[in-house]
Amino acid sequence: MADLFSKCSMGVSARAREAMEQGWYPYFKAFGSGADTEVYLNGHKLIMIGSNNYLGLTQDPRVKKAAIEAIDQFGSGCTGSRFLNGTLTLHEELEEKLASFMNVEAVLVFSTGFMTNQGVISAIVGRKDLVVGDSENHASIVDGTRLAFGRALKYRHNNIQDLDRVLTRNKSDENGILIISDGVFSMGGDIVDLPALVAVAKKHGARIMLDDAHAIGVLGRNGRGTAEHFGLEKEVDLTMGTFSKSFASIGGFIAGSEEVVHYIKHVSRAFIFSASPPPASVATVIAAVDILQAEPERREKLWRNYHKMKKGFEQLGFNTGNSQTPIIPIIIGEDEKTFLLWRLLFENGVFANPVISPAAPPGKALIRTSYMATHTEEELDKVLGIFEKLGRQLGII
């Protein structure tokens, strides 16, 4: 009989141990400072270009003060699910604030973004239903479709013609259809072709759900995300967002009609059977939403930083793919060269993220860089200079 644990010494696990022994293992690095444009690791100062802290709010005094005051009033945790004993007035305040901000009827807050996608998709998609997603959707969407009882299919990345083909071949009069896509794709930084997706959804009578984890706070005149960016807010049925990016905390939410959100609230196992978000996390988001609305100049600075870095990398000769947002991939191709560049960046005072298959397509390994509103010109110029030196040293440019 096979040993259940035999897999633990092979494959990914074995490669990780090999990387650790050779000194180029890039994951699970423990920082000795909070998320900011500069971080400390083992006493070394690094410029952080691997964070999703787009608006730079994790170190804002108003955000930290809100967390401290929430702990003083409500304590450190809720000790139960929202369904039973874990709902605070803070949770309801945040849901009302987010519904107003997102310009929707209702919002439901989950404990994590991953849980939000799992909980919503598995609640909405029934046995006779069809759920169709982009091939480069986030893992939480993929896992949510696996948990749903309906049939799950994929279409080629941002290829709406292929989506049309998949729906034409597989829809029936008996099933409901849910199309799910990232708004901003987390590795490539590109934006879904929402106008074309909406047209196909109308053609097939499908509902649309967007994962706007990397879009809310970044895209749109008011920072409401992808649908606002395209002027199509009334055409998107459900929008998912997270708090671990622009909102400087942890958690997630789903925004939509009151009827659908009410249904999810009473059916989603991920929501009903999980402990509720702690007071400090919730209060942090409330403060962040207020700052986002009061200080549009933060988004303006974020976009100036993006354009500077996008232009700078391309002028140097780096391949930045189809990036349209403050996520800028530096596409290397080979896994080994990608890890080598990561290590040299680290040694030169820059922290970024190496991404290989399956998070990136095979043969398209990359260094994922991302930028904050709070990065200074000096920091960004230093990053470009280091990339130029290392890119030439490794023959990438």
Whether 19 contacts 29, CB under 8 Å: no
The answer for 314, left when phi > 0, alpha when psi is -120 to 50, beta otherwise, is: alpha
Return the pLDDT at 106: 98
Tell me, yes or no, whether 287 and 355 share the same domain: no
Tell me, yes or no, whether 88 and 18 share the same domain: no
Which CATH number does the domain housing residue 174 bear? Answer: 3.40.640.10
pTM of the model: 0.94
Tell me, yes or no, whether 216 and 277 share the same domain: yes
The answer for 278, left when phi > 0, alpha when psi is -120 to 50, beta otherwise, is: beta
Domain final residue pick, 259, 294, 329: 294
Return the pLDDT at 369: 98
> Would 127 be classed as within a structural domain?
yes
> Would 98 be classed as within a structural domain?
yes
Which CATH number does the domain housing residue 306 bear? Answer: 3.90.1150.10
Tell me, yes or no, whether 163 and 305 share the same domain: no
Domain final residue pick, 278, 294, 310: 294
Domain final residue pick, 234, 261, 294: 294
pLDDT digits (tens, 9 = 90+) for 239-266: 999 999 999 999 999 999 999 999 999 9
Tell me, yes or no, whether 264 and 362 share the same domain: no
Tell me, yes or no, whether 163 and 208 share the same domain: yes
Number of domains the chain contains: 2
pLDDT digits (tens, 9 = 90+) for 178-221: 999 999 999 999 999 999 999 999 999 999 999 999 999 999 99
Q: Is the pLDDT of residue 69 over 90?
A: yes
> Would 17 be classed as within a structural domain?
yes
Tell me, yes or no, whether 27 and 68 share the same domain: no
List, by residue number, the catalytic residues. 186, 214, 245
Return the pLDDT at 388: 98
Tell me, yes or no, whether 40 and 65 share the same domain: no
> Would 244 be classed as within a structural domain?
yes
> Would 55 be classed as within a structural domain?
no
Return the pLDDT at 9: 83
Return the pLDDT at 296: 96
> Would 2 be classed as within a structural domain?
no
Tell me, yes or no, whether 308 and 169 share the same domain: no
Q: What Å distances lie between residue 123 and 11, 58, 114, 116, 268, CA to CA?
A: 34, 32, 14, 11, 5
Return the pLDDT at 51: 95
Compute the mean pLDDT over every residue in the chain, rounded to the nearest whole number: 95
Return the pLDDT at 361: 78
Domain with 183 in it: 61-294
Q: Is the pLDDT of residue 27 over 80?
A: yes
Share of the chain above pLDDT 70, in %: 100
Tell me, yes or no, whether 136 and 150 share the same domain: yes
Q: Is the pLDDT of residue 173 over 90?
A: no
> Would 156 be classed as within a structural domain?
yes
Tell me, yes or no, whether 268 and 334 share the same domain: no
Return the pLDDT at 213: 98
Tell me, yes or no, whether 105 and 42 share the same domain: no
Q: Is the pLDDT of residue 292 over 80?
A: yes
112 by DSSP, 3-state: which? coil
> Would 149 be classed as within a structural domain?
yes
pLDDT digits (tens, 9 = 90+) for 216-232: 999 999 999 999 999 99
Question: Tell me, what DSSP letter sits at residue 184?
Answer: B
Whether 260 contacts 108, CB under 8 Å: no
Mean pLDDT score, 356-365: 82
> DSSP assignment of 43-81, as one string?
TEEEEE-S---TT--TT-HHHHHHHHHHHHHH-S---SB
